[in-house]
Structure 1
Amino acid sequence: MARRRTRICFPFSGEALGGSHISAHGLLQNIDRDRFDPMVIVQEPDGEIARLMRSADVPVRHAGFLPPLRHGERAGLRDAIGIAKASRACTEMIRAMGADIVHTNDGRSHAIWAAPAKCAGARLVWHHRSSPDARGLRLVAPRIADAIISVSTFALGDVDTRNVPTQVIHSPFDTDVQADRRARRAALLGELGCAPDTQFLGFFGVMIVRKRPFHFIEAIARLRDLDPGRPVCGLLFGTPLEIGSDELMAHAKRLGVTDAIRLMGYRAPGADWIAGCDLLLVPAKDEPFGRTLIESMLVGTPVVATRSGGNVEALRGGRLGPLVPLDDPAAMARAALGLLADKAEWHRLADAARLHALDHFGARRHAAAVMNVYDELVPPFAVAAGPAKVHALA
């Protein structure tokens, strides 16, 4: 009797590429294909998410009937009606794929695919990557999920999971990443036409309220006030989503720092551009477990972050980078200035953070932990079975 691989379905909703997709891609690259048969469902067959998942060599199917849920907004009555209308088709797709487990990875995917997964007879892994007050985590996951994975202790909060196996598994990262810091800095200097002694402070992430790019601009302004002669430039890397580029530059103009702010757009791989920066500033509030903090550690760029959310966990309470109060751009500016002016401390933190990241955040380690969850839900079994009837899009 041939052992059939456990079939795992990864459904994604929406078009915008984010950290949850990059983490899922890391898992797909490291999942044991002798034991597991991963498949992906996307909403946009030619979008960035589909292209990323295809690069992991998995079958990708298109679910064009999904409701257009909006990023960062709670579902309303109209959304609920759209989800209900799509539910039957989602259930039939999961059943046709022969999925043993459905692994949802973000709020919109939970909302659309969790109930159909159960209706199709699959086990549901609810991967929580947002704030601890998310309604889905608190009200739905404990009642419907077969397992909950959280990216941090903070993100899990105090939700009652007594009846659901729950684990904190930090997101995966490519710990083999190599970045030529000197070359990346030279690339920034050349592109921006800055003076050779310019110090670059980076913000990385989609432009949404929670990540607080306005506060980053305010920190740059306060730093200029504290040390007017220091040549600094604040670089915002990321896609405008909830906050537009015009709004950001208008804020910089109000603070008198348009000459010290550059909008860089989305660039990949992000680690290369982080390596070109002297510091990473993370002003986010209630960030579950930011990817850029760990990527920054791996390429040797020290981090200054708010004492909020998963930042505290990632930076080990401040041992791997300064943590500053929320809503205090001056405190962030002072911490940044302290590191820029003290190269010995800059190097000490960079080295300590890199060693910690190498030891704790490898993609293979993450995949092994997730695969253990799968095995607990669907123990390996020996049955005669053919391959799933799934057709990848060209």
Structure 2
Amino acid sequence: MNALSPRFKAAAAADIRPLRICFPFSGDSIGGSHISVRGLIAHLDRALYRPVIVPEVPGGMIASFFAGQEQMDDPGSKGLFVPGEAFTLKKFARTLTGVLPRARFLRAKGIDIVHVNDGRSSANWALAARLAGARLIWHHRGDPEALGLRFLAPALAHRVLAVSSFALPPAGIWSARNRASVVHSPFDTEISVDRDKARDTLVRELGVTPDTLLLGYFGAFVPRKRPLLFVDMVAQLRSLAGRPVMGVMFGEARLPAMDTALRKRIADKGVADQVRLMGYRTPGPFWIAACDQLVVPAVGEPFGRTLVEAMLVGTPIVAARSGGNVEALEGGIGMLVEPDDAQALVQACAALGADLGGARQMALAAQADARRRFSEAAHCAKVSAIYEQLRRFEA
């Protein structure tokens, strides 16, 4: 990345032109994909790669998140792809209105690779990339049964990157599986949080006694993450060997119906004094470190960021044996339980809470494992190797 680095000199000697890599983003909310891309860009060798961010909303949250990076306006943003909208010919036609302007943009800017990182961006940019003659990387971070991954990626993607083995495209006659690789999401593995200080902060805010067992839920309140099941678990646990229990839920509902359902479940279970809705907060690792355990009841989660962040800050983990949770916690570095089973969650949380020494040893093993497997440098090396493969690819 230093202009005088040995790699730069080697590249110059070989007359290698830096690849122009476009990272388009639809919508204007920040999620794990944006964090991962920012970590990737920070480690890319500028002698070999020149990244450019193309946010759908100029001057918005995403644009601000990538401040300091080269950015260009999305020429096709008038054809907005609205999440959750029923698939209709009108919706399909509206998405297509942006294809030609985006293809012309990619050609005019000399873009070599379009690296899409979410479903909406894939829908908006995949066809444009192929029409422009650019190579397309389809970075999949969601359900392996997603329609785009199953039906569009086989036709349009030069390579598919999946955040876990669970998220790989299903095998079949019409599949991008033979062009897919597992590349785990990157994390700042040097992160360090004073767990005692973080816990004291949370205890004071909650107004609970220091001996309270703090169980944390982190993530959006959406059905896949099972926020209602978390409430059911706390209702069954209530106390542990005379020790009070508090469930703290960090996140927000994406739809009003879920917010209503969550508040109703809390009231119906009579745990308004044991479940607190904390809202969305940053930095996430600080609040994860404040909890005695991270509880991940999510089912079908491709690869949860909060789970790995908990590993890095030393918070013991109880998770559903489902999706990418199994891959992240392989080797017994977290407690995995049957999905959609509140009683199984209760038993695992109780076991960890009763064996503080064992929980600490498990957390330390998870921390060492996460630092080894999930660094930003390791992620960048894997992605850069794929960029180099595509450099030699004749579109």
TM-score scaled by structure 2? 0.90
Specify the alignment match of 1:192 in structure 2: 206
CA distance in 2, matches of 1:68, 1:259: 43
Where in structure 2 are there 5+ consecutive unaligned residues?
1-11
1:114 paired to 2:126: yes
Matches within 5 A, 1:206-245: 206-224=220-238, 227=240, 229-242=242-255, 244-245=258-259
Specify the alignment match of 2:73 in structure 1: 62
SS at match of 2:243: coil
Query: Aligned in 2, Cα 1:162/1:236: closer, same or farther, shift over 3 Å?
Result: closer
**2:101 is matched with which residue: 67, 79, 89?**
89
Specify the alignment match of 2:190 in structure 1: 176
Q: Is the 8 A contact 2:170 2:177 kept in 1?
A: no
Specify the alignment match of 2:148 in structure 1: 136
Q: RMSD of the TM alignment (CA)?
A: 1.9
Post-superposition shift, 1:12?
0.6
Q: C-alpha deviations, 1:279-301, integer Å up to 9, x for none?
A: 10111110001111110000000
CA distance in 1, matches of 2:236, 2:79: 43
Query: Aligned in 2, Cα 1:107/1:75: closer, same or farther, shift over 3 Å?
Result: farther
Query: Aligned in 2, Cα 1:72/1:220: closer, same or farther, shift over 3 Å?
Result: farther
CA distance in 2, matches of 1:218, 1:44: 39
Q: C-alpha deviations, 1:250-296, integer Å up to 9, x for none?
A: 21111111111111111122111101110101111100011111100
SS at match of 1:350: helix
Post-superposition shift, 1:335?
0.3
CA distance in 2, matches of 1:265, 1:244: 14
CA distance in 1, matches of 2:140, 2:262: 30
1:101 paired to 2:113: yes
CA distance in 2, matches of 1:47, 1:357: 32
Q: C-alpha deviations, 1:127-163, integer Å up to 9, x for none?
A: 0111111111111111211111111111115334578
Q: Is the 8 A contact 1:69 1:75 kept in 2?
A: no
CA distance in 2, matches of 1:148, 1:378: 16
CA distance in 1, matches of 2:33, 2:177: 25
Post-superposition shift, 1:213?
1.0
CA distance in 2, matches of 1:364, 1:285: 29
Query: Aligned in 2, Cα 1:215/1:376: closer, same or farther, shift over 3 Å?
Result: same
Post-superposition shift, 1:379?
3.8
CA distance in 2, matches of 1:330, 1:67: 47
Q: Is the 8 A contact 2:57 2:63 kept in 1?
A: yes
Post-superposition shift, 1:164?
4.8
Q: Is the 8 A contact 2:233 2:343 kept in 1?
A: yes
Post-superposition shift, 1:350?
0.4
Which range is displaced more, 240-249 or 341-350?
240-249
**1:39 is matched with which residue: 49, 52, 58?**
52
Query: Aligned in 2, Cα 1:69/1:163: closer, same or farther, shift over 3 Å?
Result: closer
Amino acid corresponding to residue 108 of structure 2 in structure 1: A
**Aligned positions, number:** 376
Amino acid corresponding to residue 198 of structure 2 in structure 1: R
TM-score scaled by structure 1? 0.90
Specify the alignment match of 1:388 in structure 2: none
Matches within 5 A, 1:141-156: 141-156=153-168
Q: Is the 8 A contact 2:199 2:291 kept in 1?
A: yes
Matches within 5 A, 1:1-394: 3-54=16-67, 57-63=68-74, 65-71=77-83, 75-160=87-172, 161=175, 164-224=178-238, 227=240, 229-242=242-255, 244-316=258-330, 319-379=332-392
Amino acid corresponding to residue 237 of structure 2 in structure 1: L
SS at match of 1:316: coil
Query: Aligned in 2, Cα 1:290/1:27: closer, same or farther, shift over 3 Å?
Result: same
Q: C-alpha deviations, 1:162-216, integer Å up to 9, x for none?
A: 7853210100000010101011111112222222222211111122221111111
SS at match of 1:141: helix
Where in structure 1 are there 5+ consecutive unaligned residues?
381-394
Query: Aligned in 2, Cα 1:72/1:346: closer, same or farther, shift over 3 Å?
Result: farther
Identity %: 45
Higher relative contact order (CA 8 A, sep 6+): 1
Specify the alignment match of 1:389 in structure 2: none
CA distance in 1, matches of 2:176, 2:228: 40
Query: Aligned in 2, Cα 1:163/1:173: closer, same or farther, shift over 3 Å?
Result: closer
